Chain A
Amino acid sequence: MFQNNNSAVIKHLSKAGLKSSKLRNRLAGAVIALAAFLLALASTFAYNAAMELQNLTHYQAVFENVDTQVIEKIRTNPDVEAYGISRRAGMAKNGDISLSLLYSDEKTMELSNVRIKTGALPEQVNQIAIEKGYLDSVNSGAQIGDDITITYRNSVNNEMQTDSFIITGFLGTGDENGMGRKVYNAVVSRAFIDSDPALSSVYPTVVIKVANADGYSNTGLKAKIKEIGQLAGLPEKSIYINDINVDSNNTTSETSAAVLAIALVVVIAAALVIYNIFYITIIGKVNEYGQLRTLGATKRQIRKIVMREGKLLSLQSIPVGILSGSGVSYLLRPSMWLAVPSLILALCVGIITFLTVMLSLRKPAKIAAGVSPMEAVLYTDFHGSSKGKKRKVKKLTPFALGRIYLTGNKKKTAVTFLSLTLSGILFITAASLLSSVDPVRRARQGFLYGGEYRIGLNRELLSPSTSYSDLQINNPLPEELKAKITAISGVDGVEIHKYIRGRLVGAIHDDETIGVDNIREKDAAELKKYLVEGNLPDTSADQILVNRGTITYEYFGLHYQPGDTITMLLYDGDTQISKKFTVSGIIDNDDSGDTLFLPDSVMDALMAQNCNQSFEILSGQGYSADVEAQLKALIASEDKLEFDSMKEQTELEGRVLHVIATAAYTLVALIACFGLVNLVNTIITNILSRKNEIGIMQAVGLSRKQLMKMLYTENAYLIFGSFIVSVFLGSVLGYYVCIAAGNVGGLSYIQYQFPIWTNAVYFLLMIILQTITTRFIGIFLQRHSVIERLREV
């Protein structure tokens, strides 16, 4: 066996190799660090965001109307890890801002992510703990120990009441930093509940944390919750599931897919650049490797030397990347940072980046190992047409020379071109999609009848234990309100959205509720466009219209045909009624989220309660601040109603789009850095590896201007070539992505728009890039005289 211990010499040689090519190392190091940075940022941010969603609350179920016996059964159930008791006291409204008053024990507070930030929990009848944000938003400077007077609607008897409280503490909640909050919380004492005859007359609410919840599938967890409730003897209507917590129980596949896609792009982009950088340096060092081979280095040793250079670089660069990536991810949302899992993720990112480096080095290392001692003497950077050994004569202008060089080393050119194009395509595709999202169209989805304003049941109040049917009790949207709205000058009319919550008996998810929406008489023409079978429902019979284009239709596993009978349990306030309908027809409209439709008059006739959901207010004059003020004044004291306008919604959509666009462009820009590093590396090595040739050409008469023209041409082909290819492929891809996205139900607001401005900016960037690189070359070339270049052999 000729096994020598030669690791010392290999270590020494690879270290020396690193020292000798400082520029390459800086570039490669930057690329490795950037890749690690992007991967760490994307993965830890996505993970922590998903976790934040899950940790918004820690309970999976809410049981309402729970008496002491039931509480005892819950307490002894081994499947219940923790439970907390709370009671709703009332709701105060101050313009747009609402304050929910409730009593809650410490366990409920813990499970709902509510805690006392400063001060103490209330104990006396007249004490309260409140969110500071509420006081700020109603311009109250009240501090702990101060008095505060609150007018609120009693949750049990629905009477308006006014009470004075002493503030004992400030609350912190899971979404205290959330933007545009409209509902805040306040906690009153048990003594307060007991002292109120109405509030003390009803049983409390219990929140449940299921033991080992992570071990269940989402559906399994829901079944377990039902079981716990039934074992405790609760009727099904008192059992509510906390969907946000349960559905994020197992991190959603969409998030993982998005992170994987980003990771894949980053890994490919980084691998291309690392490969190219090492490939180019190794070609430049063929002579050295040849010498080493002559001196007796084996192929294996040469390969080891190259791989070790990569390892050393990775060890230096990866920690920088993952630390800064995790750091930025932390800074983006410090409040939701989970240190240990993030650290583990960062570690995985380090390993993935390392493997990427090693994989992309395999080929260059093989090339280096394959150098024979003889080859070292003959090798030149150019080996494009060495097979044919002859090439047709070309006219030798500087431009032609530039082209000859580009085609001379096809591989190097192709890799640089590819990595520039890759980021370009990403950029244009992202731009196409982003510019195709129309905030007005998106906002219009909430104003289907062409209205300017909307007054509706307050969606902020919806919770696991409060649904639309609860809000419809003593419906705050009566005819009188409609009449008052119509009387406002500037209002042309009011369209009513009606809604009934119900359950489909016998469907797959028959324990979950589904909504029934109204059909106005004038909707008939529009609905007929989507009719695929049967007819629109007849108002005189119990007929229902079904939309098979929705996700809900699939989720409930529905397969209806005209003539089929549907049995529904409809919620009428807090009572339920069973009703049979005949399917009159099927429509297919994937833009509407609504699955079941009944005519207006049928809905009114069925329900004892008023089933209005919202008033959409039409105004031919467009938005008017005056009309908005009058509408807001009408509902100022009604906590169960919210106001919304097309203008506000459009602005909101615009802001959301802006945030998404900023994030997307930042990501693309970072990925584009890979392409840039590749370009810089190619340009520099184009000069470095050809110092001698450039010297020869200058000696035989290539002027500085001509030399610049030649190098300029090479760069221009790369930069503008990749621009043209990127714009073309990116636009085609962007077009199809938009078409595909627009066809997804509910996303019809995505209408393909050619991103003309983004393309213009991209073009401008390329011109700047070309100018900078050319200047850079000029400066670089001044550093050496012709004779110095000629000596470089």
Chain B
Amino acid sequence: MSILKTSGLKKYYKTGPNLVKALDGIDLKVEPGEFVAIVGTSGSGKSTLLHVLGGLDNPTSGNVEIDGKELSRMNDDQLTIFRRRNIGFVFQNYNLVPILNVYENIVLPIELDGEKPDKAFLDQIVGMLGLKEKLDNLPNNLSGGQQQRVAIARALATKPAILLADEPTGNLDSRTSQEVLGLLKMTSRQLHQTIVMITHNNEIAQLADRIVRIEDGRIVA
């Protein structure tokens, strides 16, 4: 059974007199534990796809089903709660909360859910991502690569059904990029974590199990 399934996904915007078809009928299936890269040029609709997949944005029509639950049937609050339990996000600009330290950033989704963090699991991912010494630090005092590792740890902490990564290496130099991608690949293997990653870089996409190409809001390969 697919962990992620979309059918006929469309997202249209009106900008002035023009109708922009950001997504124009996307049918996509992702299997559990799969590492999928969605590749496209700037403006191809790949970021919109990720936002719609993550329930951050509503599609104009079509469905998104994650772990058997249809997102369009949920109201705003249900969606928020579903998101914090089932979807992990990694953004290009890390998007850490600056006033919270590393540990707090990582456990934020769990604590917002009123749950206690699973200590053993946390230790495992913190160890895997090399953040043990940095837990008390505030994000401002970390390098870009370190900040992105915190973001990955935060995304993994809730053991989500799916991890959505939006250009996770976009702000990093090539050496750090390799390191972060390696970590993503490793978590996919070791934790059997489903990952959907968006990138414009073919080389980076090669690391994934499967590559989906998107152009003008449609899947082309």
- Check if A389 sits within 8 Å of B76, measured CB to CB: no
Beyond A395-B111, A396-B108: 8 further Cβ-contacts under 8 Å? A385-B138, A391-B138, A396-B100, A405-B99, A692-B95, A701-B81, A701-B113, A703-B77
Nearest chain B CB to A286's CB is how many angstroms away? Answer: 13
A737 within 8 A of B: no
B91 within 8 A of A: yes
Per-position 1/0 for A654-697, Cβ under 8 A of B: 00000000000000000000000000000000000000110111
Per-position 1/0 for B109-132, Cβ under 8 A of A: 101110000000000000000000
A704 within 8 A of B: yes
Interface centre among B51, B138, B158 (most CB of A within 10 A): B138
20 contacts between A and B (CB under 8 A): A381-B98, A382-B99, A389-B140, A393-B103, A394-B104, A396-B108, A397-B111, A404-B99, A693-B99, A697-B97, A699-B95, A700-B84, A700-B109, A701-B112, A701-B158, A703-B112, A785-B56, A787-B56, A790-B56, A790-B91
Complex A-B, nearest 7 residue pairs according to Cβ-Cβ distance, in ascending order: A701-B84, A396-B111, A390-B136, A696-B95, A703-B80, A701-B109, A700-B109
Query: Which residues of B, 190-205, contact A by the 8 Å Cβ criterion?
Result: none
From B93, B112, B141, A702 is in contact (CB under 8 Å) with B112
Number of interface residues of A (CB under 8 A): 39
B5 within 8 A of A: no
A625 within 8 A of B: no
From A380, A398, A706, A790, B98 is in contact (CB under 8 Å) with A380
Nearest chain B CB to A140's CB is how many angstroms away? Answer: 77
Interface centre among A385, A408, A700 (most CB of B within 10 A): A700
Q: CA of A398 to CA of B111 in the docked complex: distance in angstroms?
A: 9
Given A405-B99, A698-B80: A391 and B108 within 8 A (CB)? no
Contacts of A605 on B, CB cut-off 8 Å? none
Contacts of A382 on B, CB cut-off 8 Å? 98-99
Interface centre among A382, A398, A703, A704 (most CB of B within 10 A): A703
Per-position 1/0 for A764-793, Cβ under 8 A of B: 000000000000000000000111001001
- Check if B80 sits within 8 Å of A389, measured CB to CB: no
Given A696-B96, A700-B84: A389 and B108 within 8 A (CB)? no
Query: Which residues of A, 685-728, contact B by the 8 Å Cβ criterion?
Result: 692-693, 695-706
Q: CA of A781 to CA of B102 in the docked complex: distance in angstroms?
A: 27
Contacts of B218 on A, CB cut-off 8 Å? none
B2 within 8 A of A: no
- Check if A391 sits within 8 Å of B81, measured CB to CB: no
Given A382-B98, A386-B138, A785-B57: A704 and B77 within 8 A (CB)? yes
- Check if B89 sits within 8 Å of A396, measured CB to CB: no
Q: CA of A691 to CA of B12 in the docked complex: distance in angstroms?
A: 25
From B57, B83, B98, B103, A701 is in contact (CB under 8 Å) with B83
Query: Which residues of B, 134-169, contact A by the 8 Å Cβ criterion?
Result: 135-138, 140-141, 154, 158
Contacts of B95 on A, CB cut-off 8 Å? 692, 695-696, 699, 790
Contacts of B91 on A, CB cut-off 8 Å? 696, 790
- Check if B108 sits within 8 Å of A699, measured CB to CB: no
Contacts of B103 on A, CB cut-off 8 Å? 393
B107 within 8 A of A: yes
Contacts of A484 on B, CB cut-off 8 Å? none
Contacts of A381 on B, CB cut-off 8 Å? 98
Nearest chain B CB to A609's CB is how many angstroms away? Answer: 86
Contacts of B45 on A, CB cut-off 8 Å? none
A392 within 8 A of B: yes
A179 within 8 A of B: no
Interface centre among A385, A394, A395, A696 (most CB of B within 10 A): A696
From A386, A703, A706, A787, B140 is in contact (CB under 8 Å) with A386
Q: CA of A523 to CA of B103 in the docked complex: distance in angstroms?
A: 81
- Check if B154 sits within 8 Å of A700, measured CB to CB: yes
Query: Which residues of B, 36-56, contact A by the 8 Å Cβ criterion?
Result: 51, 54, 56
Query: Which of chain A's residues has its CB closest to B48's CB?
Result: A787
CB contacts between A and B, total, < 8 Å = 98
A residues near B (Cβ < 8 Å) are 378, 380-382, 384-386, 389-398, 404-405, 408, 692-693, 695-706, 785-787, 790, 793
Q: CA of A703 to CA of B109 in the docked complex: distance in angstroms?
A: 10
Contacts of A393 on B, CB cut-off 8 Å? 101, 103-104, 135-136
Chain B contact-residue range equals 35 or more
Contacts of B97 on A, CB cut-off 8 Å? 693, 696-697
Contacts of A786 on B, CB cut-off 8 Å? 56
Nearest chain A CB to B165's CB is how many angstroms away? Answer: 13
Q: CA of A378 to CA of B143 in the docked complex: distance in angstroms?
A: 12
Contacts of B84 on A, CB cut-off 8 Å? 700-702
Q: CA of A395 to CA of B107 in the docked complex: distance in angstroms?
A: 9
Q: CA of A793 to CA of B137 in the docked complex: distance in angstroms?
A: 23
Q: CA of A701 to CA of B136 in the docked complex: distance in angstroms?
A: 22
From A386, A391, A395, A695, B101 is in contact (CB under 8 Å) with A391
Contacts of A705 on B, CB cut-off 8 Å? 77
Contacts of B113 on A, CB cut-off 8 Å? 701
- Check if A700 sits within 8 Å of B108, measured CB to CB: yes
- Check if B83 sits within 8 Å of A389, measured CB to CB: no
Contacts of A378 on B, CB cut-off 8 Å? 140
- Check if B80 sits within 8 Å of A702, measured CB to CB: yes
Query: Which of chain A's residues has its CB closest to B51's CB?
Result: A787
Contacts of A384 on B, CB cut-off 8 Å? 99
- Check if A693 sits within 8 Å of B56, measured CB to CB: no
Query: Which of chain A's residues has its CB closest to B94's CB?
Result: A696
Query: Which of chain B's residues has its CB closest to A696's CB?
Result: B95
From B76, B77, B112, A700 is in contact (CB under 8 Å) with B112
Query: Which of chain B's residues has its CB closest to A703's CB?
Result: B80
Nearest chain B CB to A566's CB is how many angstroms away? Answer: 78
Q: CA of A384 to CA of B140 in the docked complex: distance in angstroms?
A: 12
Contacts of A390 on B, CB cut-off 8 Å? 101, 136-138
Contacts of A699 on B, CB cut-off 8 Å? 54, 56, 83, 89, 95
Q: CA of A380 to CA of B98 in the docked complex: distance in angstroms?
A: 8
Nearest chain A CB to B47's CB is how many angstroms away? Answer: 10
From A389, A698, A700, B138 is in contact (CB under 8 Å) with A389
Query: Which of chain B's residues has its CB closest to A393's CB?
Result: B103
Contacts of A391 on B, CB cut-off 8 Å? 101, 136, 138
Contacts of A397 on B, CB cut-off 8 Å? 111
Nearest chain A CB to B72's CB is how many angstroms away? Answer: 15
- Check if B89 sits within 8 Å of A700, measured CB to CB: yes
Q: CA of A158 to CA of B154 in the docked complex: distance in angstroms?
A: 103
Nearest chain B CB to A705's CB is how many angstroms away? Answer: 7
Interface centre among B100, B113, B135 (most CB of A within 10 A): B100
Nearest chain A CB to B174's CB is how many angstroms away? Answer: 21
Nearest chain A CB to B216's CB is how many angstroms away? Answer: 21
From B100, B112, B141, A706 is in contact (CB under 8 Å) with B112
- Check if B99 sits within 8 Å of A787, measured CB to CB: no
Contacts of B83 on A, CB cut-off 8 Å? 699-701
Nearest chain A CB to B21's CB is how many angstroms away? Answer: 18
Q: CA of A382 to CA of B100 in the docked complex: distance in angstroms?
A: 10
Q: CA of A562 to CA of B141 in the docked complex: distance in angstroms?
A: 83
Given A699-B83, A700-B89: A787 and B57 within 8 A (CB)? yes
Contacts of A389 on B, CB cut-off 8 Å? 137-138, 140-141
- Check if B100 sits within 8 Å of A404, measured CB to CB: yes
- Check if B101 sits within 8 Å of A396, measured CB to CB: no
Q: CA of A380 to CA of B95 in the docked complex: distance in angstroms?
A: 13
- Check if B93 sits within 8 Å of A793, measured CB to CB: yes
Query: Which of chain B's residues has its CB closest to A379's CB?
Result: B140
Contacts of B77 on A, CB cut-off 8 Å? 703-705
Query: Which residues of B, 63-105, contact A by the 8 Å Cβ criterion?
Result: 76-77, 80-81, 83-85, 89, 91, 93, 95-101, 103-104
Nearest chain B CB to A211's CB is how many angstroms away? Answer: 74
Contacts of B76 on A, CB cut-off 8 Å? 704
Q: CA of A391 to CA of B112 in the docked complex: distance in angstroms?
A: 19
Contacts of A793 on B, CB cut-off 8 Å? 93
Contacts of B96 on A, CB cut-off 8 Å? 696
Nearest chain B CB to A305's CB is how many angstroms away? Answer: 27
Q: CA of A521 to CA of B180 in the docked complex: distance in angstroms?
A: 104
Contacts of B99 on A, CB cut-off 8 Å? 382, 384, 404-405, 408, 693
